[in-house]
Amino acid sequence: MGQILTDGNTRATFVPSIASISAPTVAELTAVGIVDLENTLTDDGLSIEFDEGTIAGPTLASTQDFEAPGRSKANIDLTGYRDSITANDRMWTVMVRGTVGFLVVRRGLVVATAYAAGQHVEVYGVTCGERRKLAPERESQEKFSIKLFASSTYNIDATVAA
């Protein structure tokens, strides 16, 4: 079977600074100040969806309507768990409203695999929205969510550089 599994094979990192979104470096992805998110996010807590506008292109001579892709927009929502140990609660303490950075997502490799040159990643320039504590649930841990606003260009086909 050639299907790519997601369980344990999706890495997500909040990175304060990236010089080139098409080629983030290993040093940038592992620098002091990054926030490893995959052990904080719920198993369905990484939601990246796209809205895409439509450009109408009808002509007077045609009996059909034509259209082309317009602007696209990434909609990113994260849902994670709180941690009672402050040092482990970095998503909550670092990603506060107004914090600017980059969400980097790597899919298809075991999470424990270190970032390395040649790996394919998605890079989204974002600004963090307000952290929202979620309603308590029976037999659950405390959860919260953050909307990440696409505040600069993104690249869904980036390659890690050395």
- pLDDT by residue (tens digit) across 15-61? 999 999 999 999 999 999 999 999 999 999 999 999 999 999 888 89
pLDDT at 1: 60
Q: Residue 47, by phi and psi: left (phi above 0), alpha (psi -120 to 50) or beta?
A: beta
φ, ψ of residue 27 in degrees (nearest 5): -60, -40
Q: Which residues pair with 25 in a beta bridge?
A: 161
Residue-wise pLDDT tens for the chain (162 aa)? Answer: 678 778 899 999 999 999 999 999 999 999 999 999 999 999 999 999 999 999 998 888 989 999 999 999 999 999 999 999 999 999 999 999 999 999 999 999 999 999 999 999 999 999 999 999 999 999 999 999 999 999 999 999 999 999
Measured between alpha carbons, how far is 71 from 48 in angstroms, rounded to an integer?
A: 16
pTM: 0.92
Each domain of the chain, given as residue ranges in start order, spans: 10-46+75-159
Closest CA to 104 of 4, 24, 19: 24
Q: What is the CA radius of gyration of the chain?
A: 18
Buried/exposed 113-143: b ≥16 CB within 10 Å, e otherwise: eebeeebebbbbbbebbebeeeeeeeeeeeb
- The residue count for the chain: 162
In one letter, which amino acid is 160? V
